[in-house]
Each structure stands twice: as C-alpha cells, then as structure tokens.
Structure 1
Amino acid sequence: MADGGKGRTAAAPGGKALTAEQVVARFNRLRQEQRGLASKAAELELELNEHSLVIETLREVDPTRRCYRMVGGILVERTVKEVLPALEANKEQINKLLESLSQQLQAKGRELNEFREQHNVRLLGEEDARPPRDGAPGGKGGAAGVLVS
C-alpha cells in the first residue's frame, strides 16, 4: 500500500471518503452492535440454563403430576408429561438460536477488526507499536489514524 496521500481520509466501501468523525461513528455503531449480540447471547445462556434445570427436575417427577407453565404471560395448568416435551423442544430452539447468535458475534468481531485495521482506529489507552508522529496529536484521519474513546 502506498503512502502517497498524507491528508487523505479513509475510503468507504461505496468509494466515498470517510471523515474521522464518520469513522468514529461507524466504529462505535459496530461496537454497539457487537455488544448487543453479546448481551442477547448471555441472556439466552441464562434461559438455556433455566430450561435445563427445570427439565432435570421434571424428569424425576411423576408424569401425571400437575404443574404450571407460563404461556404468553398466562399461567396454565398442565401435567408433567405435557409440559416436558414442550420444554425440551424450547431448549433445542434456544440452542439453535444461541449457535446462530455465536456465529453472528464472531462475524461482527471480524468485521470490527477489519474496520479497525482498514481505518487505523486506536482506542484510548491502547499501546501503539509505532512511535507517534509529530504534529498528529488527535488523529484527524489519513495516515495518523483515528483515536476512539
């Protein structure tokens, strides 16, 4: 890659140049999306653990015993033999969703890293392997990169 354009801004995927502010905004949006995916994955992990605990407990109970299940905000009375298959099916669906979410999270992480490398984005407090350039304190784009808090 040539270092011919010192004052250039980074190129966007559509061919338009991005300003430092646009790079920071897009980087923050990508980080927020990644955090949202991670948060949803953690929520699903908890739900999966709850389902596992309930399934283990119900397997040891008499199948004709009454139990209660929340369906759409309404508490319904069923027997264990009716509820257990539904819980197991829900657990499988949560597992599939969790796997899909994990793949999305990995893809988002790769996208974020590629964007960081492409636009030379550095986080505050992050050690930089290269010595800082004179006259480029905050990074206004181009070869200096972008500094994100």
Structure 2
Amino acid sequence: MAKPAASAKGKKSNEEVFAGFQTLRSEQRQLANKISELEMDLNEHKIVIETLRGVDKSRKCFRMVGGVLVERTVAEVLPELENNCEQLPKALNALEDQLTKKGREINEYIEVHDIRLQRVDRDPTEAEPEQPSKSNVLVASG
C-alpha cells in the first residue's frame, strides 16, 4: 500500500520540482536582466557626465525624474549624476553576488532533485517527418 501512495506523491512532487526549478530560473533571468539594465544606466551616466563637464555650469538642462521631465542647471544635475555613477557599481556588485548565489542554488536544486536538462532543438530529425504531413497544397484555378 505504501508504493501506490508513493508513486502518486512522486508524480505530484515531479510537477512541484519542475515548478520550483522554473521559479528559480525565472528569478535568475530577472537578476540578469536587472544587471544588464544597470550596466546600460551606468554607461549612459558616464556619457552624460563627460558631456556636461564641458558645458557652462549655468546652462539649462533637463532630467527625467520619476517619469517627469525636470528643468535644472548643469551645476545642479552634475553632482547628482556623479553620485549616481558612484552608487551604481555597488548595486551592480550586489546584484552579481545575488546572481552567483542563485546559480549555486539552482545547481544544488538540480543535484538534490536529480534533474536532467535536455534541449528542445537537440534532435532535428524528429521534426522532419512531421513537416510533410502538416503541409497543405493550395491550387488556384483562374
């Protein structure tokens, strides 16, 4: 009697294991996307800082703050940008550490649950026989 209960639980646990793995992978992708976004922000900050350093400090400039375009002077904006540029690498390092930990967590999850990864596009010969059976012929008579 213990075996049928274990096999029923096994199917459910396989689905739960898969869902847990998908969740971990999703979190890993989100971290990687955030890192990429912050790297682009850092590069943009550097470009803008270099541009504004060669401009008169009393000149008007515009900055997007929370989705609102704000008019300021270069003297007001430049220190804020430099501060942000100093803080972004710290945030990037923290996110990279989180990404590394998430990778380790995924590897441990794979080992604990004995997950084997397979690629979908691994065997193209299986897809070839299906293609002719799905194709349709259209004949137009004029």
Could you tell me which residue of structure 1 aligns to residue 100 of structure 2? 106
Amino acid in structure 2 at the alignment position of 1:30: L
* Post-superposition CA distance 1:96-133 (Å, at most 9, x none): 2111111100000000001111111111139xxxxxxx
Q: Aligned partners of 1:72 and 1:19: how far apart in 2?
A: 44
Could you tell me which residue of structure 1 aligns to residue 54 of structure 2? 60
Q: CA deviation at 1:84?
A: 0.4
Flag as ranges the 4+ runs of structure 1 deviating above 4 A. Answer: none
Q: Which has the higher helix share?
A: 2
Q: CA deviation at 1:48?
A: 1.0
Q: Aligned partners of 2:13 and 2:107: how far apart in 1?
A: 19
Q: CA deviation at 1:61?
A: 1.2
Higher RCO (CA 8 Å, separation ≥ 6 residues) = 1
Q: Aligned partners of 1:72 and 1:26: how far apart in 2?
A: 35
Q: Aligned partners of 2:108 and 2:66: how far apart in 1?
A: 42
SS at structure 1 position matched to 2:71: strand
1:27-106 aligned within 5 A: 27-106=21-100
5+ residue gaps, structure 1, are: 1-7, 10-17, 127-149
The structure that has the greater radius of gyration is 2
5+ residue gaps, structure 2, are: 1-5, 121-142
Structure 2-normalised TM-score?
0.71
SS at structure 1 position matched to 2:61: strand
Q: Aligned partners of 2:66 and 2:19: how far apart in 1?
A: 38
Structure 1-normalised TM-score?
0.68
Could you tell me which residue of structure 1 aligns to residue 117 of structure 2? 123
> RMSD between aligned alpha carbons?
1.9
